[in-house]
Structures are given as C-alpha cells and as structure tokens.
Amino acid sequence: MAVHVVKNYSQLAGLTVLVALFYFIFLVLSRPTSKLPGPWYSKWTGLVFRYQWFYGKQTFYTHDLHKRYGPIVRVAPNQVAVADLETVKSVYTIKETYRKTKFYELLASRPIQTVFSTADVELHRKLRRLMASQMSESSLKSMLPQVTSHVELAIQRMKEESKDRGVIDVFKWCLFMTTDVIGELSFGESFQMLEKGKKTQYVEDLENISSVSADRITFPFFFHLADKYDKILPLFKSKIAINRRLVEYSRQSLGRYQKQVELDATSAKHTFVEKLFQAEKDDKITFDDILTNAQTFIIAGSDTTATTLTYLIWSVCKRPELRDALLKELRTLPGDFTEPDLRELPLFNQTVEETLRVYSSAPALLPRSVPQGGAHVGGYYLSEGTTVAAQAYTMHRDPTIFENPDQFDPQRWVNPTKAMKEAFMPFGRGSRTCIGMHLAYIELRLAAARFLLEFPNARVSAREGMSDRDMDSTIYFLMSPKGKRCLIEE
C-alpha cells in the first residue's frame, strides 16, 4: 500500500513538472517578443545578455546582432534592441512616452533618484529646470575662466612630463583636468589632481565605478544584501567600499561649499548646484538630493569628456596630414583666442564631431519602457513594459547613413545629411539629452586646440609597450580605453 502511494505521488509530481514545463513554454512562445528576429536562446533567457554586460562587451555583442538580424532584434526575453532611425526617433522624444527603466536606478550609485536616473517625468522636469540654466551656453560663459585655467595647467603638466619622461600620458592628464573642472563647477573647489600629478584614491574610484555598476546590474539582489550585511556577506565588499568612499568624499566637498554659501552667498563661486541649495531652503529638495545629483555630475562629467578628448588627440596624432591641416587652421586665430573663436573653424569642429561619432563616451543601449497599452515598434507589436533600447554605437555605424562608417573621416561633416544629424546621438536623444553637453564641447575644443598648438609634432608613441591595443574600448555604460593610458610623443 505504501509503495502504491509513493508511486502515485511520484507520478503526480512528474505530471506537475510536465504541466509547469508546458505552461512555461506556452508563456514564452506567446510573448510578442518571441516573434522578433534574434538568437534562439534570447527567447528563453537573458543570461547571455547579462554575461556580455558583466564583461564590458554588451555594446559590441548587440552591434553584431544587428548586423546579423537587422534593425530590430530580441536580445533577451523581454528586451529589444532597435537601430532603425524612424523607430529611434519615435522612442526618444521630448514627450517621454517611453520612460526610463529601472536600469538607471541600478546604474546609479545611490537609491535617491537624480536628474539622470529617475523615471518620473515630473521629477525629471523639476530637477532639470533647477539645473539647466547653470549649464546653458550663456551661463557657462561666466565659468570659462575656470575651465581655461585648468586646460592651461594641464598643458603645462604635459610639457613637464614630456621633458622628464619623453612621452605624455594624455589619458591621465585629460582625466585629471576634467575631474578638476567638474569638481570646481560642482562643489566650488578643484580636486587639485593636476597639481598632485598622480592618481588619488578618489580618481581610482572614479575609474572603477563602471565595473561597480556592472556588478550591481548583473547581481542586484546579492549586491543589495552585501551592501547591508557586508560582514556576513563579504561578496562585492571592495566594490561597495568604492561607492561609500565616493559618497563620503562628495558629502564633505558639498558640505564645505554649503558653508561658504551660508556665510556669504554673494562671494561664493557659481556652481551647478547653487540653485539646488535655494530649493533646499524652500523645502523642495533635501541635502541628500543635492549630494546625489552633484555626485552624478562628477561621474558623468569627468571620465566621459576625458575619454572623448583622449580619443580625439589619439586619432589626430595617428594622421599627420589631418594634424597639420588642423594646425594650419588653428594658427589663423589670435594668440589670445577663446572657446567661441574655435567654433568658427570648420575642419576643427568636423574633427570634434567625427570623434563623437566614432568614440561616443556613452555608446551603450539606452533602455526605455514600452508605454501602457503596448506599441508597434519597427513593425512589431510589443506589450506594455517591454524594454526597448537603441545605442549610439550602432546608430553611428549605420552604413545607409554614414558611408564607410568604420573610417575616421572628419570630411563627412562638411555637408551632413538630415539622416546623419538625426542619427547622431553622442549625448543621448530627446528630453533626456545630457545636461552637460555644452560643457563637454567647451572642454573638448579648448583642450584639443591648446594641445595641438603646444605639441605640433605630436605622434602616437610606441614606448613603454604602448600599442593600439591600449586604445581598444571597454564599454559598460561608458566607454574607456582598455589600457587606461594613451602615450603621445613629439
């Protein structure tokens, strides 16, 4: 009798598993995304997609899928990548019909929502209104002296390194410069990286923040537990320590600036966060809101611009004819030229645009959520909540828009087509376009011009084992050169 009961239970368990399996298969195959082109395994699991993210290869992986399957491809059971221009234009709009996903909250270092991470349209508009005026082209004019002084100091330190070492590590000095600039414009004080001339713990933490984000997004549950119970769960301990140090450093810097404002607001330096302090007085936001947004500025405004600037200098120094043509154009300027003067130089600005096309510092997928009621995307119906995303890396390499897309060719921007302008999205697209875009352009123009004029015979060095492999890209959300260096010599 007992054997018979056990046998019945075994049969029932087997039947239950079989029914559950068939139900799972039914659910998978009935999803709208199952009808989309894509690798067979992406119907069933997103593990391959996460694996690619964890190792900084997801952008390249997605680009390869587009080349194989076309402009719309399923990359995971509920995630779709798009590369069709008309589709991209409909997803990334001013109206924000397709809202940001939870991905951005995981990407951010703190749970408090920022102008970058929030999916709340009204909160985003509120924060952007408070910050946009400080980051407008007109407001940045008053901050040009600070930016210029850091650029000039960076060039001076490069000259010293060239004399002492025989080469210049352009990536190092660009990173120090952009970190000092964004520190002063965010917290009212420079990090003095250019003066110190070597990486501090803070800069090392900034460099490693992308890998921290990769862990957080790949293993959100375990990362959250480890953050709360680091003594019990030592997993990710070093990565969590990076987050905590960045937060504490930002808290101290912001606290010092707040004291200056409270003592004498009229003499305090103009920064990106000064209006946020007024909003705090009016109980519209908290100090932690200001802190988290300021920290976002630091992360988004240092490594990104430094990376693009490094690739710009490297690309020009690899091409002597282009370098010499740029020098000829730059030498038409007066000795005391300013950033607005640089905007009038055709080839120079075409080179900046081409660098942003090929080496966008944020070239990865920008996830959005399909709105309530679902939507037709690229000729396919997608249900509500499906993640849809485009990436600048692929949009900038569409051969139907950019002829010979893998070739670095500033001349393509002499007469750009409408499609080229619309597909160009190095700072994002729609209402979520990077708020620091104007500052990035200012730093790129000023620093590149000063570098070329100071080092007219600059070329890529082969010393200390430097090779093009050092400049191969790693991309989590942001791009950076694998070698974390770029050696240039005269």
Beta strands in 121-187 (DSSP E): 168-169
Phi, psi of 7 (to 5 degrees): -65, -40
User: Which tens digits make up the pLDDT trace of 140-183?
Assistant: 988 999 999 999 999 999 999 999 999 999 999 999 999 999 99
Residues 6-28 have a mean pLDDT of: 55
Q: Does the pLDDT of residue 23 top 50, yes or no?
A: no
Residue 163 domain-assigned (yes or no): yes
Q: Tell me if 434 is assigned to a ligand binding site.
A: yes
Query: What's the CA gap between 117 and 182, in Å, rounded?
Result: 19
pLDDT at site 376: 94
Whether 104 has a pLDDT exceeding 60, the answer reads: yes
% of the chain surpassing 90 pLDDT:
58
285 or 423, greater pLDDT: 423
pLDDT for residue 294 is more than 50: yes
Q: What is the pLDDT of residue 270?
A: 80
Helices (H), 219-338: 220-228, 237-263, 274-281, 287-317, 320-330
Examine residue 253 and state whether it is found in any structural domain, yes or no.
Answer: yes
Mean pLDDT of 129-145: 86
Please state, in angstroms and rounded to a whole number, the distance separating the CA atoms of residues 445 and 352: 8
Query: Higher model confidence: residue 139 or residue 156?
Result: 156
Phi–psi pair at 228, nearest 5 degrees: -85, -35
Residue 128: pLDDT band (50, 70, 90) is confident
Distance CA 136, CA 147 (A): 15
The mean per-residue pLDDT over the stretch 83-102 comes to 93
Give a yes or no: residue 421 inside a domain: yes
pLDDT at 26: 41
Q: Does residue 48 lie in a domain region?
A: no
In a domain, 30, yes or no: no
CB 390 within 8 A of CB 91: yes
Rounded Cα distance between 351 and 480, Å, is: 19
Instruction: Answer whether residue 232 shows pLDDT above 80.
Output: no
| Residue 99 falls inside a structural domain | yes
What would the pLDDT profile of 375-402 be if each residue is shown by its tens digit?
Answer: 999 899 999 999 999 999 999 999 999 9
- Among 17-26, 158-167, 322-331, the minimum mean pLDDT is found in 17-26
Q: Kindly tell me if the per-residue pLDDT of 1 is higher than 60.
A: no
- Quote the pTM value: 0.91
**Quick check: 356 pLDDT over 70?**
yes
For the chain, how many structural domains are there in total? 1
What CATH number did the domain enclosing 279 receive?
Answer: 1.10.630.10
User: Does 438 fall in a domain?
Assistant: yes
Return the structure tokens found at 229.
């119970």
Q: Which pLDDT belongs to residue 338?
A: 92
Note the pLDDT of residue 49: 95
Residue 239: phi, psi to the nearest 5?
-70, -40
280 lies in which domain range? 53-489
Whose structure tokens read 């490693």?
208
Residue 12 — very low, low, confident or very high, per pLDDT cuts 50/70/90?
Answer: low
Q: How confident is the model at residue 24 (pLDDT cuts 50, 70, 90)?
A: very low
pLDDT at 460 over 80: yes
Residue 423 lies in a domain: yes
